[in-house]
Chain A
Amino acid sequence: MTLQTIDNATCTFCGCVCDDIQLHHDQMRIHKAKSACVLGTAWFLNHTAERHYPDALIDGREATVDEAVEMAAALLHEADMPLVYGMSNTTCEAQKECVALADQLGGLLDSHTSL
C-alpha cells in the first residue's frame, strides 16, 4: 500500500517546534517522520488513529462525550474556585478556549510555566 505524505509538518514535542518534518502515513498511523529527531519520531509514531481508549469516563465508567461534557460543565459551574490548568500539549486554539472558560467561571488559570 502506498503511503500519503505531508510536507513541512510541525512537531510539537519540544520547544523547538520543528516545522520541516515529512510525514508518511496511512489512515491509521504515521509510519515515518523524516527529519524528525528521536523524540519527535517517537511522538509521531506512537500516536495512532486507533480507538485505544473509551470516548469518555465518568467516575471510571465509560460514558458518551455528551454525558461527559454535561458532567464537566455541571462540576465546574458548581465549584466556587475552579482551576483550569495545563495547556502544554494542546493547540493555541484550544488554549484560547481554556482562557475563555476560566474567565467565564471566575476561576484560576495556570500553565506548566508556574511549576
Chain B
Amino acid sequence: MLRITGGKIYDPASGINGEIRTLYIEDGRFVASGEGGRTIDAAGMIVFPGGVDVHTHVAGGAINFARAMTPEDHRRTQAFIRSQTRRSGLGGMAPTTFATGYLYAGMGFTTVNEAAVPVLSARHTHEELSDIPIVDKSSLVLMANNELLLDQLDAGEYERARSILAWYIRAAGSWGIKAVNPGGVAAWKWGGNAGQLTETVDGFRHVTPGTIVASLARMCHDLNLPHPLHLHCNNLGAPGNVSTTLETLRHLEGHRAHIAHSQYHAYGGDDWDTMRSATSDLADWFNTHDNLTTDAGAVLFGDTVTITADGPWQHLLYRLTGRKWGNLDVENETGCGIVPYTYRPGHLVNAVQWAAGLELLLLIEDPWKVFLSTDHPNGGCFWRYPEILELLMCADYRQECLRQLPDRIRSRILLPEIDREYSLYDVATAMSAGPAQALGLPRKGSLAVGCDADVVIYEEDDNIRRMFSHPRYVIKSGEIVIEDGDIRETPDGREFLVQPHCDPDTETFIRPLFEDCYTMSFDNYPVEPHRIPRAEIHHRPASP
C-alpha cells in the first residue's frame, strides 16, 4: 500500500481538475482505499498521471543507425554513471536504451510508443525495447509501402490485403500500424517518391497513395485495432504541403486516424523562399472533425539527428545540408533515412517550423486531439519537452522568444497573435490522458481506480521548465522510481501487443509470395513470443 495525500490532482480522464484528494495504490494499481504502508505527503504539490509519448523513435534499426552516426554527440552529452545495480548510459540526440528509460522516467513519462518498426527487424526492436528500463512500451509496424500488401490492393483484393496486414501485426508483435509517406517509400526503392494522392505509385498499376490511406484506415477499423491508423502523410517537410495533408484527411473517408508530427505537414508557400505556416488550415480541420488526433512534432532550436522511414525526404535533406546521410532500405517493406540537423532561429524555414509546432498545439482547441511530441529525435530530443511546456503555458515567454527571430518571420506565422496559455489540466491532457486514449492503451493516462499506478508528482514552481524537468516523485506501477532527482529503482516495463483476427489460410497464401522476394526463411520471420518478455497481449475479434 502506498498513499499519496494532500496533492492537487489533475486527472482529465476522470474530469478532476486540481482537487485535493488521496490516491491509494496496491499491487501496481489504484484502489479505492487502504490502510498501512508508506504515505507520500504531497501537500503543495501537483499530481499527474504518468506521461505517455504517442510518437517517438527509441528502439530498433533506425535509431541504432543514428547512434552509430553521432559519436561526437555522445561524447559531449550527459552520462549516467554505473552503480552496483544500475547500468551506465549516454543521453543526447540518440540516447542509449538504458539512458532512454532513465531520461523518460526522470521527466515523469511512464509509457512510450515506438512509432516505426519494420517487421523484418522487429526482433531487433523488441530486444532494444526490453533494454529500456522503467517505462511500458508499445510499437507500431510500418505498412504503407509493404509490397505484398500493396500488390493485393493493386489487384483490388481488399480482404486479402487486410488478412496480410493482420498477419504482419502478429508476426511483428505490434500494437498497431504506421503509414509513412504512403507509396513514396516504395517508389524510393527506385529513387522516386510519391507526392500526389491520386497518382499511381511507381511499380504498380492502380494503387495510389490515396487508396493506400483509405484502405489502411478502413482495415484498422475492420480489425478492431486499439489504435487507429498512425499516419505520416506524403510530402513531409515540403513548402505548400498543407494541401497534400488536407487531401489525405479527405481520403480517410471519415475513418479514425492519428496524424503523426503534423507540424511537418502544415506549410504554405511555393518554395523554400516563400515557405510559411499554414497551421490554421490544418487546425480548422481538426477543430471540426472528431475522427482525428495528432501529435505536434514540435521543433526546438539546436542540434539533433533526424530519422524517418521517409527515405526520399532524407535524401533531399542530405542534398540541402551536405551533412552525413544514412539510408537503409528494408526489403519489400520500408526504408529509413538518417541526417544530423541543426535548427537555427536565424534560418527562416526553421523559424517557421518552430512556430508551426506551437501554433498547432495552441490552435487546435481540444487538448484531447493534439499531443505533445517532437517526433523524437526529429524536431528535438524528448527530454526537452519541458521547454515546450513553458512555451505553451507562458504567452509572455513566447513573445520573448519571438523577438529573437528575424523580423521577416512575422508575416509567415500566426504565433505572435495567439495568446492562449495551457492550463495544468490542458498539459495533463496533452501529455498523458489524450495520448493514452488515442493509443487505446488500457489503464494508462488516468489516476482512476483500476488504472496502472503511474504517477508523477511535481513541486509547484513558477519556473515551468524546472518544474516539469525535475519531478519530486515518479511512481511506476506503484513503485517509486524517481525521488528528488535520484533514480531509485529501475524495474522492467511491460510491452503491449495486439493480436487481431487473422484468417487461418493467410499463412499458406503468403508463404510462396514471401519466398519469392525475401531473403530469410518464412518460418524464421515471425518474432517468437518468448522473445518479448513481460508482454501483455490483447486479442481482438474482428469488428462486426
> Interface on A for B, CB 8 Å cutoff?
7-8, 10, 19-20, 92, 100, 103-104, 106
A8 and B127 contact, Cβ closer than 8 Å, known pairs A100-B87, A103-B82, A103-B87: no
Contact B82 A104 (CB under 8 A): yes
Write out, one digit per residue, whether chain B residues 489-515 have a CB within 8 A of any chain A CB (1) or not (0).
000000000000000000000000000
Interface pairs (11), CB distance under 8 Å: A7-B521, A8-B521, A8-B523, A10-B524, A19-B520, A19-B521, A19-B524, A20-B521, A103-B88, A104-B82, A106-B82
Cβ A8 vs Cβ B82 within 8 A = no
CB distance from A71 to the nearest CB of B (A): 22
- A103–B81 alpha-carbon span in the complex (Å): 10
Chain A residues with Cβ under 8 A from B520's Cβ?
A: 19
B residues contacting the other copy or chain, number (CB 8 A): 8
Chain A minimum-CB-distance residue to B84: A104
CB distance from B381 to the nearest CB of A (A): 23
A8→B87 contact, CB < 8 A:
no
Residues of B within 8 A of A20 (CB): 521
| Chain B residues positioned under 8 Å from A106 (CB to CB) | 82
Q: A7-B523, A19-B521 are in contact. List 9 more A-B contacts (CB 8 A).
A: A8-B521, A10-B524, A19-B520, A20-B521, A92-B127, A100-B87, A103-B82, A103-B87, A103-B88
Residues from chain A with a CB closer than 8 A to the CB of B524 are: 8, 10, 19
Alpha-carbon separation in the docked complex, A8 to B82 (Å):
40
* Chain B residues close to A by CB (< 8 Å): 82, 87-88, 127, 520-521, 523-524
Residues in A with CB closer than 8 Å to B523 are 7-8
- Which residue of chain A is the closest to B127 with respect to CB atoms? A92
Task: For B127, list chain A residues within 8 Å (CB).
Answer: 92
Tell me the complex Cα distance, A10–B523, Å. Answer: 12
Closest A residue to B520 by beta carbon equals: A19
Q: How far is the CB of B230 from chain A (nearest CB, A)?
A: 29
Chain A residue at minimum C-beta to C-beta distance from B123: A92
Secondary structure of the A contact surface, majority rule: mixed
Give min CB distance, B393 to chain A, whole Å: 39
With both beta carbons as reference points, the residue of chain B lying nearest to A7 in the complex is identified as B523
Q: How far is the CA of A87 from the CA of B88 in the complex (A)?
A: 20
Expressed in whole angstroms, the minimum distance between the Cβ of A22 and any Cβ of chain B is: 10
- Cα-based distance from A92 to B130 in the complex (angstroms): 14
A92 contacts which chain B residues (CB < 8 A)? Answer: 127
- In the bound complex, what is the Cα–Cα distance between A92 and B123 (angstroms)? 12
| Distance, CA A104 to CA B524, complexed state (A) | 34
User: Whose C-beta in chain A lies nearest to the C-beta of B87?
Assistant: A103
B-side binding surface: helix, strand, loop or mixed? loop
> Shortest Cβ distance from B417 into chain A, in angstroms?
52
> In chain A, what residue has the closest Cβ to B86?
A103
Minimum Cβ distance to chain B for residue A90 (Å): 16
- A8–B520 CA distance with the chains assembled, in angstroms: 9
- Give the nearest-CB partner of B523 in chain A: A8
Chain A residue with the shortest CB-CB distance to B89: A103
- The smallest C-beta distance from A8 to any residue of chain B, in angstroms, reads 4
Q: How far is the CB of A101 from chain B (nearest CB, A)?
A: 12
Q: Compute how far the CA of A7 lies from the CA of B523 in the bound complex, rounded to whole angstroms.
A: 9
What residues of chain A lie closer than 8 Å to B88, measured between beta carbons?
103
B516 to A: closest C-beta gap in Å:
14
- The distance from the CB of A17 to the nearest CB of chain B, in whole angstroms, is 9
Interchain CA distance A7-B520 in the complex, whole Å? 13
Q: Which of A7, A8, A10, A100 has the most CB of B within 10 A?
A: A8
Within the complex, what minimum Cβ distance (angstroms) separates B132 from chain A? 14
Question: Which 8 A/B pairs are nearest by Cβ-Cβ distance?
Answer: A8-B521, A8-B523, A19-B521, A19-B524, A20-B521, A19-B520, A8-B524, A103-B88
Instruction: Report A-chain residues with C-beta under 8 Å of the C-beta of B82.
Output: 103-104, 106
Please report the C-alpha to C-alpha distance between residue A100 and residue B127 in the assembled complex, in whole angstroms: 15
- A106–B521 Cα gap in the complex (Å)? 40
**Contacting residues, chain A, for B87 (C-beta < 8 A):** 100, 103
- Please report the C-alpha to C-alpha distance between residue A78 and residue B88 in the assembled complex, in whole angstroms: 21
Alpha-carbon distance between A7 and B522 when the two chains are bound, in angstroms: 11
Q: What's the least CB distance linking A104 to chain B, in Å?
A: 7
Residues of B within 8 Å of A8, CB to CB, are 521, 523-524
Query: Measured between C-beta atoms, what is the minimum distance from A114 to chain B in Å?
Result: 14
Contacts of A100 in B (CB 8 A): 87
Please give the distance in Å from B515's CB to the nearest CB on chain A.
10
CB distance from B99 to the nearest CB of A (A): 12
CB distance from B369 to the nearest CB of A (A): 41
Closest partner residue, chain B, to A93 (CB atom): B127
In the assembly, what is the distance between CA of A92 and CA of B124, in Å? Answer: 11
Residues of B within 8 A of A7 (CB): 521, 523
Nearest CB on B from A77, distance (A): 13
- Cα A93 to Cα B127 in complex, Å, equals 10
Q: Cα distance A7–B521 when bound, in Å?
A: 10
Report the bound CA distance from A92 to B523 in whole Å. Answer: 20
**Which of B82, B88, B521 has the most chain A CB atoms closer than 10 A to its own CB?**
B521
Give Cα A104 to B523, complex, Å. Answer: 37
Nearest CB in chain B to that of A92: its residue: B127
The smallest C-beta distance from A83 to any residue of chain B, in angstroms, reads 17
Q: How far is the CB of A37 from chain B (nearest CB, A)?
A: 15
Nearest-neighbour CB distance to chain A for B525, whole angstroms, equals: 9
Closest chain-A Cβ to B64's Cβ sits at a distance in Å of 13
Q: Which residue of A lies closest to B88 (CB)?
A: A103
Q: Which residues of B contact A104 (CB under 8 A)?
A: 82
- Cα–Cα distance between A8 and B524 once the two chains are bound (Å): 7
Cα–Cα, bound, A20→B521 (Å): 6
- How far is the CB of B178 from the nearest CB of chain A, in Å? 26
CA distance A106 to B84 in the complex (A): 11
A70 to chain B, nearest CB (A): 19
Q: Give min CB distance, A58 to chain B, whole Å.
A: 27
- A18 to B: closest C-beta gap in Å: 9
B residues near A103, Cβ cutoff 8 Å: 82, 87-88
